[in-house]
Structure 1
Amino acid sequence: MRKRALSALFAMMATLSAAVPAAADEVVLRAISAFQKGTTFFTPFDAFVKSVNENGKGKVRINLVGGPDAMPPFEVGNALRGGVIDLANTTAVYHANLVPEGLAMTLTDLSMADLRSNGGYALLDEIHMKKANIHWLGRLVQNMNYHIYMSKYPDNLEFKGLKIRSAPTYKAFFDGLGIAPMQTAAGEVFTALERGTIDGYAWPSVGVFDLGWQEKTAARIDPGFYQVETGIYISGNTWKKLTAEQRAVLEEEMLKAEAASAAYRDMAKEEFKRQEKAGIRTFALDETKAKAFTDMAQEEGWKPVVAASPVEGAKLRELFAK
């Protein structure tokens, strides 16, 4: 049933994109966003699309055909690999089944400028192309951590036994802490908090208010861990067909978007003030526990990357870790 539904969706998308008129030398790229329109992680993609369409007029245009309501986020990687879509606003977390090494982007504290200059970007892009026929164009979000948020403010925090909404990105880390990772869809988190099915959730510094979760959140645990990563990924089939001039438009716009993403550090600071006003109190681990917490996050996080690709995984750690 699900395969038939997806096949129908892909056919519809192909029809929609074919119906879009284009100039003789202009290519129209069919795009999907893994994030809902109007949310924190859709906004930079929307700006990217508008800038490409304005500055690439006559050369390349992006046609956004849908979001997570049109295609489940975990299906996006396969759709890119098969050329069903041309371009996606997504995260390597969602296609870790195809490219587990992509989690390196979540584990780094280095900027994209650093990774482009030290060879880290080129290596991970090469791995994406080799394993999944996907070209990694660049990163839209950086300088933003994940945090554990809890429905009740803890008097004495013990991680062991907590039921926390998780994702593949930090499952190994949570296992190490003794947390019971819960696979809860984002749309079900509010109800799960309300019913006590989960004790909390892991989420970025920014975005709690997008889904109304602040109403059921009492505490944010500091320090944060890892780096939120969303970016632009292009089907390898599509990338190979683009002219040098069309590629240049996308690459130039990507660099502009990466430069703008530095603002997320200040955005997180403003978000914390907003959380405090909404009644979300900070629970800060003491210095010793905080160091153990962040050290474990790194050690556990790199294990699946290196296990999936011992040689390239070790090289990625060398390039992506400070």
Structure 2
Amino acid sequence: MDRRSFIKKAGVAGAGAAAAATTLAAPAIAQENPKITWRLTSSFPKSLDTIWGGAVDIAEHVSAATNGAFTIQTFAAGEIVPGLQALDAVAAGTVEAAHTTSYYFWGKEPTFAFGTALPFGLNARMSNAWFYQGNGNKLMNEFYATQGVYGLPAGNTGVQMGGWFRKEINTLDDLKGLKMRIAGLAGKILEKVGVVPQQLAGGDIYPALEKGTIDAAEFVGPYDDAKLGFNKVAKYYYYPGFWEGGPVVHGFFNLAKYNALPKNYQAILQDACAFANTNMMAKYDVKNPTALKELVGSGTQLRPFSQEIMEACYKAAVEIYADLSAKSPSFKKVYDDQLAFKKDAYLWAQVGEYTFDTFMMIQQRAGKL
């Protein structure tokens, strides 16, 4: 066979092979990327663009990565179910997904609290470390599986503020009988020092505070709190929100629906949630400083919780964790793991982060930045 004849025949064969490969690839790709539409319900209103934005981030990234084959429709709190029923809707299969905080559901089982934040627990950086590189995701999804859901970190607000009060809070006596909107396990801890906790969704807080149905409320931090207008109905703004040092917002997915996804869709969903997690924290770190300056400039009175209050609440928290650990094997398993992680994490943080941050804050206060 001469060279020209060989090349010609090889070219024809190659073209045939390419055509065959194309014929085979098309249905294979279609099979690997089926058309799927999910609904996601959020626990947050669209007006809170940063925390609501986590759901949007997930949906947009999933759609872009699958060229529109995997679509997640997002719905704000109340459009399908109330905000505090988001996880229940996922477990029941009413919707496939939710963007919410795990600790809203701690009343079902206290282990839910670890998914968001334990009072006097982890800061945002430690939360990410525990979930991604510690045992956080593993332990929490062992627990979430018993509830019919699968969870992935999909947002973090950073340390929150201690909330808005209609009067000054100087001593423990000032807390006695005070009706306060506070979410999660923190309400049980404050109850131990005399507060009457109220769990309300974000959109219900302002009218309750305005009407005097509650005396105080915490939500997130300066940016979101200003959007909700709390400064118009309460004068005193306390810090820190020791119950939420680094609270995680989760993407929750119906367990059966998640397990039925193609593996590449699962990976895409995981990456989308990881982006939402990082992006939310970055947004709050940009927006909160400006919002805090504007609040103080408009008359908000910034106050720290006294050492007396902090110490009493810490003592109450430790006692409650011991009690819950005795009653719930699930709580004890996760608590023991996170406590061991926290001890080492704060050992390093005080050597590295704390000393550096403290020095830089001194420069900021001295006007040298």
Conserved in 2, the CA contact under 8 Å of 1:226 and 1:297?
A: no
3-state SS of paired residue (2:271):
helix
Match 1:273 to one of 293, 300, 319 = 293
Q: How does 1:29-40 map to 2 (within 5 A)?
A: 29-39=38-48, 40=50
Identity %: 21
Query: Structure 2: which 5+ runs fail to align?
Result: 1-31, 343-369
Is 2:293 aligned against 1:283?
A: no
Name the TM-score, length of structure 2 as normaliser.
Answer: 0.72
Match of 1:238 in 2: 257
Conserved in 1, the CA contact under 8 Å of 2:35 and 2:69?
A: yes
For 2:295 and 2:229, locate their aligned partners in 1 and report how far apart those are by CA, in whole Å: 12
Q: 1:258-316 CA deviation, whole Å, 9 max, x = no partner? A: 23344234544333223212322111234x32640552464266357535522x32231
Distance 1:33 1:262, change over 3 A: closer
Deviation at residue 168 of structure 1 after TM alignment: 3.9
Q: How does 1:106-117 map to 2 (within 5 A)?
A: 106-107=117-118, 108-109=121-122, 110-117=126-133
Match of 1:41 in 2: 51
Select between 246-255 and 298-307 the one with higher mean Cα deviation: 298-307
Match of 2:104 in 1: 94
For 2:216 and 2:33, locate their aligned partners in 1 and report how far apart those are by CA, in whole Å: 53
Q: How does 1:53-202 map to 2 (within 5 A)?
A: 53-104=63-114, 105-107=116-118, 108-109=121-122, 110-129=126-145, 131-154=146-169, 158-183=174-199, 186-202=202-218
For 1:293 and 1:273, locate their aligned partners in 2 and report how far apart those are by CA, in whole Å: 30
The two structures, once aligned, show a CA RMSD in angstroms of: 2.7
For 1:199 and 1:115, locate their aligned partners in 2 and report how far apart those are by CA, in whole Å: 35
The structure with the largest strand share of the pair is 1
Distance 1:185 1:255, change over 3 A: closer
For 1:172 and 1:300, locate their aligned partners in 2 and report how far apart those are by CA, in whole Å: 11
3-state SS of paired residue (1:204):
coil
Deviation at residue 118 of structure 1 after TM alignment: 1.3
For 1:155 and 1:133, locate their aligned partners in 2 and report how far apart those are by CA, in whole Å: 44
Match of 1:18 in 2: none
Select between 142-151 and 87-96 the one with higher mean Cα deviation: 142-151
For 1:121 and 1:265, locate their aligned partners in 2 and report how far apart those are by CA, in whole Å: 24
Select between 75-84 and 186-195 the one with higher mean Cα deviation: 186-195
Select between 27-36 and 136-145 the one with higher mean Cα deviation: 136-145
Conserved in 1, the CA contact under 8 Å of 2:156 and 2:278?
A: no
Name the TM-score, length of structure 1 as normaliser.
Answer: 0.81
Conserved in 2, the CA contact under 8 Å of 1:29 and 1:62?
A: yes
For 1:281 and 1:189, locate their aligned partners in 2 and report how far apart those are by CA, in whole Å: 20
